[in-house]
């Protein structure tokens, strides 16, 4: 039989254990809440960095402003001093966003902990591409006036109208069409049309591509595909510096990628032209780590988060 003293000790111990258990439960609940707040803060930082990187490397002021605007619309916590721009592979190609937010507790207040501060950091980079996805098969000479015409070019936007000639390009059997799938010889009109409409699904590296032989600018499926792309999202074209060989063995040496907003076209047998303007774009691709000038900056970049 327990004495009154023993029963009193049991009551005290029970109360102590209940207090400890309640404290542990409160800690688990509040830590879970703080973790969710940190995850939300990290999502805000990631999105803000990616938004800001869209302005790099050309307009650092716009990049910082974009990052702040996006953060403020998605939870806030970013001060102007929390946005920094630096040079990674190329000048002004990297943006870092840091933020802090208070996370309140519920049960932890019983133990004197009203709030904790959670932080998040994200870094994004706008890079040139060593490989690009969703490329259209139309080649552009890098000597085009709107790409290399003056020291101020590449020149982008609707104020810089450009016409790209489609036709014989200096190698017999070559008409500005590339076998971007690595094939040899001529490609059917429906396949070319699909690449114009949707872009080639694989990642295409910088390098040499065989010419798609034959004149196909008056092919009905090719014409229909170009017509559907008028005044729509830009197409990404391979840009070459050298065309060598002839016929099915002619090769375009691709050195980069350029986005083109298409407004009109003409097509007649082995010749034609497309009109519009070059654009700066963020595109799907694999970033380049080469900064020796062999991969020229033609306005097409890949934006991604980096560690």
Give pLDDT tens digits along the chain (307 positions): 555 555 555 565 555 555 555 555 556 566 666 678 888 889 999 999 999 999 999 899 999 999 999 998 888 888 899 999 999 988 999 999 999 888 666 555 655 566 778 889 999 999 999 999 999 999 999 999 999 867 788 999 999 999 999 888 877 778 889 999 988 888 888 999 999 999 999 999 999 999 998 778 888 999 999 999 999 999 999 999 999 998 889 999 999 999 999 999 998 777 889 999 999 999 999 999 887 778 899 999 999 999 7
- State the pairing for strand pair 129-132/285-287: antiparallel
Shared domain for 282 and 175, answered yes or no, is: yes
The answer on 247 and 218 residing in a single domain is: yes
Strand, helix or coil for residue 128: coil
Residues 147 and 281 occupy one common structural domain? yes
Same domain, 207 and 95: no
Domain ranges, residue 149: 131-306
Rounded Cα distance between 111 and 120, Å, is: 26
**Domain boundary residue, one of 126, 150, 166:** 126
**CATH code, domain carrying 90:** 3.30.1300
57 and 165 share a domain?
Answer: no
Shared domain check, 243 and 151: yes
Domain stops at, among 107, 126, 145? 126
Cα 255 to Cα 135, 185, 295: the distances in Å are 14, 22, 6
Give the C-alpha distances (Å, rounded to integers) separating 264 from 12, 27, 98, 147: 87, 65, 45, 19
- The residue from 126, 146, 171 where one domain ends is 126
164 and 283 assigned to the same domain:
yes
Task: Tell me, yes or no, whether 145 and 167 share the same domain.
Answer: yes
User: In terms of domains, do 114 and 136 share one?
Assistant: no
Is the sign of the CA dihedral 196, 273, 283, 228 positive or negative? negative
Query: How far from chain centre, in Å, is Cα 84?
Result: 19
pLDDT at 20: 54
Could you tell me the two tokens for 243?
């065309």
Question: Do 79 and 135 reside in the same domain of the chain?
Answer: no
Provide the number of structural domains found in the chain. 2
| Dist CA 186 CA 129 (whole Å) | 27
Residue 206: partners with Cβ closer than 8 Å, 6 or more residues away: 130, 131, 254, 255, 256, 288, 295
Task: Assess whether 37 and 79 both reside in one domain.
Answer: yes
Phi, psi of 275 (to 5 degrees): -125, 145
Residues 101 and 196 in one domain: no
Q: What are the phi and psi torsion angles at 136 (to 5°)?
A: -90, 155
What's the pLDDT at 19?
56
């Amino acid at each position: 039989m327990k004495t009154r003293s023993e029963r009193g000790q049991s009551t005290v111990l029970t109360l102590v254990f209940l207090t400890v258990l309640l404290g542990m439960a409160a800690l688990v609940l509040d830590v879970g809440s703080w973790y969710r707040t940190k995850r939300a803060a990290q999502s805000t930082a990631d999105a803000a960095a990616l938004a800001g990187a869209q302005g790099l490397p050309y307009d650092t002021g716009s990049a910082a402003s974009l990052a702040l605007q996006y953060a403020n619309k998605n939870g806030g916590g970013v001060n102007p001093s929390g946005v920094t721009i630096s040079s990674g592979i190329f000048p002004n190609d990297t943006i870092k966003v840091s933020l802090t937010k208070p996370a309140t507790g519920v049960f932890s207040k019983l133990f004197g902990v009203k709030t904790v501060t959670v932080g998040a950091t994200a870094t994004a980079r706008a890079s040139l591409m060593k490989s690009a996805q969703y490329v259209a098969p139309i080649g552009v000479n890098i000597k085009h006036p709107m790409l290399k015409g003056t020291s101020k070019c590449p020149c982008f936007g609707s104020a810089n109208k450009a016409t790209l000639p489609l036709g014989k390009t200096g190698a017999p059997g070559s008409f500005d069409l590339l076998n971007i799938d690595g094939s040899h010889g001529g490609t059917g009109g429906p396949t070319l049309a699909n690449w114009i409409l949707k872009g080639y699904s694989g990642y295409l590296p910088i390098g040499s591509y065989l010419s798609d032989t034959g004149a196909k600018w008056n092919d009905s499926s090719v014409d229909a595909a170009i017509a559907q792309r008028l005044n729509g999202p830009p197409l990404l074209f391979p840009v070459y510096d050298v065309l060598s060989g002839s016929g099915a063995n002619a090769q375009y040496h691709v050195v980069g990628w350029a986005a083109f907003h298409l407004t009109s076209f003409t097509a007649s047998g082995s010749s034609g032209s497309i009109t519009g303007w070059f654009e700066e774009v963020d595109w799907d691709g694999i970033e380049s780590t080469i900064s020796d000038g062999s991969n020229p900056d033609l306005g097409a970049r890949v934006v991604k988060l980096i560690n």
